[in-house]
C-alpha cells in the first residue's frame, strides 16, 4: 500500500499524476514512482523518498503522455528502496502495475513463475502480479482477460492499476479489500485510491467493490467481475472541496485539525439533538433501532485511536443503556472465532472506513448473522457501504496521520447513540434533556481549552527531551490516557504508556523517577480523591507531574508541577475535553523535536493491509 493515481485522456498526465501523489502524501509512504506510455513505449521512474524527489528527477526529461499511473509505497514486503518502489514492470518493459495490499500466496506464485523463466528484481509481493499478468498475455489473452485470470489465482488483497503498451488506450484496475475510485471527466478519466487525489479534476466518481475489475479509456468506463460478468455502477457526486484538504494557514494539518474541533463536533451534532424530547435523532439507525435497543450484547470493534473511542463507548452504553458491551481489537476479532449471536449488535468504528482489519472483522460478524453498524467519517467508504446501517461522524477530511478530530467526533456519535438507546429504554425525559444540553455545550468548552495552546506549548518546551512518559486516568479517562500516550508515540517517537491510575502501584510505579513525567487526568468526579492519592504516590518518588484538572480546582496546583485547567462537564463527556490538551502537548513536543507531525515515520493514514 499506500497511494494510487492514474490518468487517461487528452492532457499530459505527468503533472496530473505528480499533483495527485502530493494530495496522497498525508497517508504516509516511503517511496514514489510514475509509469507512462510515451511514443508507444513505456517509461517507469521511481525513487526512495518523497514525491518532491521524483518531481525533481522528471522535471527536465520533457515527459509527455496521455496515459499513466503513479504510486506512493508504504513498505510491507521489502525495505524502502528504488527496486521495491512501484510501478513494477515485466521483463521487456511493456507492462507495468501499481498495487496496494498484500498477496498472501505470492511465494507459491513466485515459485511457479520462476519455473517458467521469470526473473524478479524486487523483494515485493507486488512484482508477482506483473509477471503473472504477463504470463497470461503471452498465452494470447488481452489485457483485461489477463488481469482477470491472474486475480483468480491470487489470495490476498489488492487495489491495482495496470498499463500495457500493446493496448495503450486503456487502464485496467481492480479492487479487493483495498479502496479504489474511478473519476469520470470529459474526454478523460481517472483512477485513485482516495478521491482527494483527483478532486481538482472531477467530482463524479464510481466506487469499485471487492472482486470488480474496471476498464478505463478516455471516453468510457465499464466494470466487470474477475469472472467477466458485466456490472452496472452508480455514479456519485463528491461534495468535498479543495479548501477542506488544505492547511488553511496552519503550519501543519494536525494543528489545523485540532483547532477545528469545535466546528467538527458541531457538525457531528448538527440536526441530531431533539432537545424538547431529550433524545437524539440518527437517520442511519432508523431501520434497525428496535433491534439495537433489544440487543442482548453490543460489541465495539476497531483499531488504534478508534479502539480507544470504543472503550469510552463501552462506559457510555453500559452506564446509560444497561446493555453488556465488549470492545475488541478488530485485528484479533476475526481470528479467534468469536462467539457472535444474531441477538448481538456490533459497532465497527473507522475514520477512513477502509481499515483492513476492521473490514475483515465486519465480514466475519456479518456472516454470523449479527446486526452490523458502522461509525465512519468518509462517506462512501467500504465499511459504510457494507454495514446494515450506521452513523457518519461528519468530521470532514482528516489529513494528519495522527487522528485528532476524528476521535472527538467518534465520541460525540457514541454519546448520541447512547442517548438514543437510553431514552427508548430507561432514561427519563428530565435526565435526557440534561444530557442533551451537556452535549450541546461541548463545542464551546472545546473552544475555551484551545485558548490554552500557548501555555501547553510552554509545558512542551519543558518536557521535549524526556525519553518516557506515563499517562494515568480512571474510569472514563483511562481510555484517554491510552489515547494521549498513543499520540505522543505516533508523532514524537517518545515511549509512552497509558494505564488505569490505580494499576500504577502494581508495576509501573517502579519506573517513576525525576526523569519520567507522569500525566494525570484528574477532573473532579467520583474518582477524584483516588486520583489525588495516586498523584501523592508519584510525588513521593520524585516524579514530575502534569495534571489535566478542572478550572475550579486550586488545590491540585499544590501537588503537581504543571496543571492544565479545563471546563467541567458530566463524566461521560469529559473524555472529549480531557483529550484536547493531550493532543496539543504531543503536537508541540514533536514540533520542538523537529519532526514531521503530519507524516510520522512508518505510519500510514489508512491501514489497508492486515
- What domains does the chain contain, in order, with CATH numbers? 2-241 (3.60.20.10), 253-447 (3.40.50.10490), 452-602 (3.40.50.10490)
What share of the chain in percent tops pLDDT 70?
Answer: 98
pLDDT at 81: 87
pLDDT at 604: 63
Q: Which residues are catalytic?
A: 2, 605
Once rounded to an integer, what is the mean pLDDT over residues 409-421?
Answer: 97
- Taking each helix axis from N to C end, the angle separating 261-269 and 405-425, rounded to the nearest 10 degrees, works out to 30
Question: Which residues lie below 8 Å from residue 207, measured CB to CB, with a gap of 6+?
Answer: 179, 180, 181, 236, 380, 385
Instruction: Locate 320 and state its grid cell.
Output: 446509560
User: Is residue 27 scored above 80 in pLDDT?
Assistant: no
pLDDT at 338: 83
In the structure, what pLDDT confidence band is assigned to residue 75 with cuts at 50, 70 and 90? Answer: confident
User: Is residue 1 scored above 60 in pLDDT?
Assistant: no
User: Is residue 157 scored above 90 in pLDDT?
Assistant: no
| pLDDT per position as a tens digit, 326-341 | 999 998 987 777 889 8
Instruction: Locate 489 and state its grid cell.
Output: 508515540
Query: How many CB atoms sit inside 10 A of residue 119's CB?
Result: 9
| pLDDT per position as a tens digit, 114-146 | 999 999 999 898 999 999 999 999 999 999 999
pLDDT at 397: 85
Least confident of 17-26, 278-287, 326-335, 509-518: 509-518
User: Is residue 494 scored above 90 in pLDDT?
Assistant: yes
In the structure, what pLDDT confidence band is assigned to residue 605 with cuts at 50, 70 and 90? Answer: low
Once rounded to an integer, what is the mean pLDDT over residues 210-222?
Answer: 94
| pLDDT per position as a tens digit, 76-125 | 777 888 889 999 999 999 999 999 888 989 899 999 999 999 999 998 98
| More confident site: 60 or 213 | 213
Residues 212, 181 contacting (CB under 8 angstroms): no
| pLDDT per position as a tens digit, 259-314 | 999 999 999 999 999 999 999 999 999 999 999 999 999 999 999 999 999 999 99
Radius of gyration (C-alpha) of the chain in whole angstroms? 25
pLDDT at 401: 87
pLDDT at 607: 57
pLDDT at 143: 96
Closest by Cα among 393, 71, 120, 153 to 261: 393
Query: How many CB atoms sit inside 10 A of residue 248's CB?
Result: 13
Once rounded to an integer, what is the mean pLDDT over residues 455-471?
Answer: 95
Q: Cite the beta strand spans of 501-558 per DSSP E.
A: 518-522, 545-550
Question: Which residues lie below 8 Å from residue 158, measured CB to CB, with a gap of 6+?
Answer: 99, 100, 101, 103, 129, 151, 174, 175, 176, 177, 178
pLDDT at 36: 94
User: Is residue 472 scored above 70 in pLDDT?
Assistant: yes
In the structure, what pLDDT confidence band is assigned to residue 511 with cuts at 50, 70 and 90? Answer: confident
User: Is residue 610 scored above 60 in pLDDT?
Assistant: no
| More confident site: 160 or 501 | 160
Closest by Cα among 30, 98, 32, 71 to 599: 30
Amino acid at each position: 500500500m499506500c497511494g494510487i493515481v492514474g490518468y487517461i485522456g487528452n492532457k499530459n498526465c505527468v503533472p496530473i499524476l505528480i499533483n495527485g501523489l502530493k494530495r496522497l502524501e498525508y497517508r504516509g509512504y516511503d517511496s514514489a514512482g510514475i509509469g507512462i506510455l510515451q511514443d508507444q513505449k513505456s517509461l517507469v521512474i521511481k525513487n526512495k523518498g518523497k514525491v518532491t524527489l521524483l518531481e525533481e528527477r522528471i522535471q527536465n526529461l520533457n515527459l509527455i503522455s496521455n496515459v499513466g499511473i503513479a504510486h506512493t509505497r508504504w513498505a510491507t514486503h521489502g525495505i524502502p528502496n528504488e527496486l521495491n518502489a512501484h510501478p513494477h514492470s515485466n521483463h521487456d518493459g511493456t507492462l507495468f502495475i501499481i498495487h496496494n495490499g498484500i498477496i498472501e500466496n505470492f511465494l507459491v506464485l513466485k515459485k511457479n513463475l520462476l519455473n517458467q523463466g521469470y526473473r524478479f528484481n524486487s523483494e515485493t509481493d507486488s512484482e508477482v502480479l506483473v509477471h503473472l499478468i504477463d504470463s497470461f498475455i503471452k498465452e494470447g489473452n488481452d489485457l483485461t482477460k489477463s488481469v482477470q485470470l491472474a486475480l483468480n489465482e491470487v489470495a490476498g488483497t489488492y487495489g491495482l492499476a495496470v498499463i500495457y503498451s500493446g493496448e495503450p488506450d486503456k487502464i485496467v484496475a481492480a479492487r479487493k479489500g483495498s479502496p479504489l475510485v474511478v473519476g469520470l471527466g470529459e474526454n478523460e478519466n481517472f483512477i485513485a485510491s482516495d478521491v482527494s487525489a483527483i478532486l481538482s479534476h472531477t467530482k463524479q466518481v464510481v466506487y469499485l467493490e471487492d472482486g470488480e475489475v474496471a476498464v478505463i479509456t478516455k471516453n468510457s468506463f465499464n466494470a466487470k467481475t474477475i469472472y467477466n460478468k458485466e456490472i452496472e455502477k452508480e455514479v456519485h457526486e463528491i461534495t468535498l472541496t479543495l479548501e477542506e484538504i488544505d492547511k488553511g494557514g496552519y503550519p501543519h494539518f494536525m494543528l489545523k485539525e485540532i483547532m477545528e474541533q469545535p466546528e467538527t463536533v458541531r457538525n457531528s451534532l448538527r440536526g441530531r439533538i431533539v432537545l424538547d424530547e431529550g433524545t437524539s435523532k440518527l437517520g442511519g439507525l432508523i431501520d434497525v433501532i428496535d433491534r439495537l435497543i433489544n440487543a442482548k450484547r453490543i460489541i465495539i470493534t476497531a483499531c488504534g485511536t478508534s479502539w480507544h473511542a470504543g472503550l469510552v463507548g463501552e462506559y457510555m452504553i453500559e452506564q446509560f443503556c444497561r446493555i453488556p458491551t465488549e470492545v475488541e481489537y478488530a485485528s484479533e476479532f476475526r481470528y479467534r472465532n468469536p462467539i457472535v449471536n444474531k441477538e448481538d449488535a456490533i459497532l465497527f468504528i473507522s475514520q477512513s472506513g477502509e481499515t483492513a482489519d476492521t473490514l475483515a472483522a465486519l465480514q466475519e460478524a456479518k456472516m454470523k448473522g449479527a446486526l452490523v453498524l458502522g461509525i465512519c467519517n468518509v462517506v462512501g467508504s467500504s465499511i459504510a457501504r457494507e454495514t446494515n446501517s450506521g452513523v457518519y461522524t461528519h468530521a470532514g477530511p482528516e489529513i494528519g496521520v495522527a487522528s485528532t478530530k476524528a476521535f472527538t467526533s467518534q465520541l460525540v456519535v457514541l454519546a448520541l447513540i447512547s442517548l438514543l438507546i437510553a431514552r427508548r429504554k430507561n432514561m427519563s425525559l428530565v435526565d435526557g434533556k440534561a444530557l442533551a444540553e451537556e452535549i450541546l455545550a461541548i463545542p464551546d468548552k472545546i473552544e475555551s481549552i484551545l485558548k490554552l495552546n500557548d501555555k501547553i506549548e510552554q509545558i512542551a518546551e519543558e518536557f521535549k527531551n524526556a525519553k518516557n512518559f506515563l499517562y494515568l486516568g480512571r474510569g472514563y479517562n483511562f481510555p484517554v490516557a491510552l489515547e494521549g500516550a498513543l499520540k505522543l508515540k505516533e508523532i514524537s517517537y517518545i515511549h509512552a504508556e497509558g494505564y488505569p491510575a490505580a494499576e500504577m502501584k502494581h508495576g509501573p510505579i517502579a519506573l517513576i523517577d525525576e526523569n519520567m513525567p507522569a500525566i494525570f487526568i484528574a477532573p473532579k468526579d467520583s474518582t477524584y480523591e483516588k486520583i489525588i492519592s495516586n498523584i501523592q504516590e508519584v510525588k513521593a518518588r520524585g516524579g514530575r507531574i502534569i495534571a489535566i484538572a478542572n478550572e475550579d480546582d486550586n488545590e491540585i496546583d499544590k501537588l503537581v508541577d504543571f496543571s492544565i485547567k479545563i471546563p467541567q462537564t458530566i463524566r461521560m463527556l469529559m473524555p472529549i475535553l480531557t483529550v484536547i490538551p493531550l493532543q496539543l502537548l504531543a503536537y508541540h513536543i514533536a514540533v520542538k523535536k523537529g519532526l514531521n507531525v503530519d507524516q510520522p515515520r512508518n505510519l500510514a493514514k489508512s491501514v489497508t493491509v492486515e
